[in-house]
Amino acid sequence: MVPIESYVTISEEATLYEAIKALQSAMHSEGRAWHGHRSVLVLGEDNSLVGILTMRGLLRAAGLKELEEDPQIKAESWGWYYVNRLREETKVRVRDVMRPLELYTVDAGATVLDVALVLLKQQVNSLPVMHEGKVIGIVRTLDVFMVIDDYFY
């Protein structure tokens, strides 16, 4: 599990562009492959954790790019105008594409097997870890992978 304090956070009112920039700023390469978390934690108005926004969620929300590349849109005289207006006027907020906190969580006392089952069943790569009703960290697929060998000997 990764402690909650080491994650990047963003307001639920932030734009997707701001979320992308926040996540990019948390990445580092150290001369090799890029490292960093693949999600940002979403804070509500009272600074409480209300959700998680993953890279996958950001990529899904970036469907606007598909419109730009669509040959039928490009061929129409109104196409470029439409796409540019959509880009300028669309103010998609983090709250619109985040995964709400209450959807999938695990208890701090859960076993590695229990966590793995939730990750697989819900088809997610990270889960908030709860202790006495409060989020204390995030457990990722990578975290489970790093200790799964204990189940094979």
User: What pLDDT, on the 0 to 100 scale, is given for residue 81?
Assistant: 65
* Predicted confidence (pLDDT) at residue 67 exceeds the cutoff of 70: no
Q: What is the mean pLDDT of residues 128-135?
A: 88
Average pLDDT score over the chain:
81
Stronger pLDDT, 10 or 2, i.e. the higher one: 10
**Pairing label, strands 39-43, 49-54:** antiparallel
Q: What is the mean pLDDT of residues 131-153?
A: 86
- CATH 3.10.580.10, the chain: domain bounds: 7-101, 104-153
User: What pLDDT, on the 0 to 100 scale, is given for residue 114?
Assistant: 94
Cα torsion through 64, 69, 75, 78, rounded to 10: 20
The alpha carbons of the chain give a radius of gyration, in whole angstroms, of 18
Q: How many Cβ atoms are within 10 Å of 127's Cβ, its own excluded?
A: 25
Task: Give 104-153's CATH code, choosing from 3.90.1010.10, 3.40.190.10, 3.30.365.10, 3.10.580.10.
Answer: 3.10.580.10
pLDDT tens profile 42-60 = 988 888 889 988 887 877 7
User: What pLDDT, on the 0 to 100 scale, is given for residue 64?
Assistant: 57
User: What pLDDT, on the 0 to 100 scale, is given for residue 21?
Assistant: 86
Q: Where are the alpha helices (DSSP H) in 3-152?
A: 16-25, 55-61, 64-69, 71-75, 79-89, 94-97, 112-122, 141-147
Identify whether the C-beta of residue 18 lies closer than 8 Å to the C-beta of residue 152: no
User: What pLDDT, on the 0 to 100 scale, is given for residue 73?
Assistant: 63
Q: Which fold has domain 7-101?
A: CBS-domain (3.10.580)
* Predicted confidence (pLDDT) at residue 83 exceeds the cutoff of 80: no
Identify whether the C-beta of residue 136 lies closer than 8 Å to the C-beta of residue 3: yes
